[in-house]
Amino acid sequence: MQKNQIPGNILCVRIHLPNSAFLGNIDSFLRSFDPSLPDELIITSNNKWVSVHPMVIAMVAALGKDISPDKIKVEAFEARSKHYFERIGLFKFLGKDSGISITVHDPSGRFIPLTKIKNSTQQTKFLTEMIPLLHLADNPKQAEPIQYIVGELVRNVIEHSQAKDGAIVCAQYYKKSNTIRIGIVDGGVGIKKTINKSHAASDDFEALRLALMPGITGTTSREGGTAENAGAGLFFIKSIAHVNRDFFLIYSGTAMFKLLKRSSDEEISLQSNPINDRHSKQKGLPYWNGTVVGIDIALDDTQEFSVLLDLIRNIYSTSIRERRKEKYRKPRFT
């Protein structure tokens, strides 16, 4: 995505969708754009084929939501890709006519089209409908962590992001790898502004690091948070992804943290500080107003959810106790 100033002081952003943009190779795509409040939007794509993560689709939808449809141009979409983006709801979301007519089949077991969730009622409805859509209703082992992850991410957007349009969600099932990929995007205030209400984050990456640690929340400086917000959501999600050997990415402001897959023979060991996980990071990315989250959930490797939660709760409690002790060990000068 590039930003160009054209005559009349109109800010035009060009998004190019490559033939492949998934969490493992997403970095170059993220560096290719400037999403700063454009006046016009031009979307192009690889002229042979396009296969991108639902997070990418949700990002494009979020960027175009505040632009008048007559200021959005969709160019050079190969026929098969255009069919896909029509069915996933991107053209409808942008208020554009794709120029093609398709037979709409039940998406059950294949994908969840772009969906906007603005309140807890819509969140509950979405979570209720999501599991049957993905054909997981008869397998709680696989359904429970997915419901938890999506529910927690959407709740974070509703309660903290101050995004007027709420969360934009998209998901797809990939049969070959037996994986569900989910993207959740908002155009709110971003992680740093939220965290800095109660903690000192020097930059966007430090804000991400703090947000991923157990017991840290922007609602209070107290270790362990409050009864209403314990600062557990993002830490739990990162930990579930680590145990299940899944990708997890969070991008806000100018920074990105990406959890990488642990080796299959690596002993499971949860870390309270995300820097100690196997990860990659980016600083100085184009500024995203709000937060972008992508996660892959490989269903073959999904652990029993009750065991997962017990494991995560233990490290959560231990980490908070240790940080509280360390806080009170600090010398006091009077």
Residue 226 pLDDT: 45
| Tokens describing residue 202 | 């020097």
Higher pLDDT, 102 or 238: 238
User: What length does the chain have?
Assistant: 334
- In CATH terms, 108-334 corresponds, of 3.40.50.880, 3.40.50.720, 3.30.565.10, 1.10.490.10, to 3.30.565.10
Q: Is the pLDDT score of 189 beyond 90?
A: yes
**Strand 111-117, strand 167-174: pairing:** antiparallel
Give the phi and the psi of residue 42 in degrees, each rounded to 5: -120, 125
pLDDT tens digits for 10-45?
578 889 999 999 999 999 999 988 777 678 999 988
Phi-psi region of 192 (alpha: psi -120 to 50; beta: other; left: phi over 0): alpha
| C-alpha to C-alpha distance for 130 and 124, rounded to whole angstroms | 10
- Please state, in angstroms and as integers, the Cα–Cα distance from residue 207 to each residue in 62, 193, 195, following that order: 22, 8, 6
| C-alpha to C-alpha distance for 233 and 320, rounded to whole angstroms | 15
Q: Is the pLDDT score of 291 beyond 80?
A: yes
pLDDT tens digits for 236-269?
999 999 988 999 999 999 999 999 999 888 888 8
Give the phi and the psi of residue 173 in degrees, each rounded to 5: -100, 135
Q: Cβ(138)–Cβ(112) under 8 Å?
A: no
Q: Give residue 319's identity as a one-letter amino acid code.
A: S
Give the phi and the psi of residue 23 in degrees, each rounded to 5: -60, -35
| Mean pLDDT lowest among 123-137, 171-185, 252-266 | 123-137
DSSP 8-state symbol, 9: T
3-state secondary structure of 267: coil
Q: For the chain, what is the largest distance between any 2 Cα atoms, rounded to a whole number of angstroms?
A: 75
Q: Is the pLDDT score of 225 beyond 60?
A: no
∠ CA(296), CA(170), CA(172), 5° rounding?
55
**Domain ranges (residues) in the chain:** 1-105, 108-334
Give the phi and the psi of residue 279 in degrees, each rounded to 5: -155, 170
* Dihedral (CA of 114, 27, 14, 165) sign: positive
Residue 323 pLDDT: 60
Query: What does the pLDDT average to over 46-58?
Result: 92
| Tokens describing residue 56 | 């990418």
| Mean pLDDT lowest among 201-210, 213-222, 292-301 | 213-222
Percent of the chain with pLDDT over 70: 84
DSSP assignment of 190-232, as one string? -HHHHHTTTS--SSHHHHHHHHTSTT-BTTBSSTT--SS--S-
How many CB atoms lie under 10 A from the CB of residue 294?
25
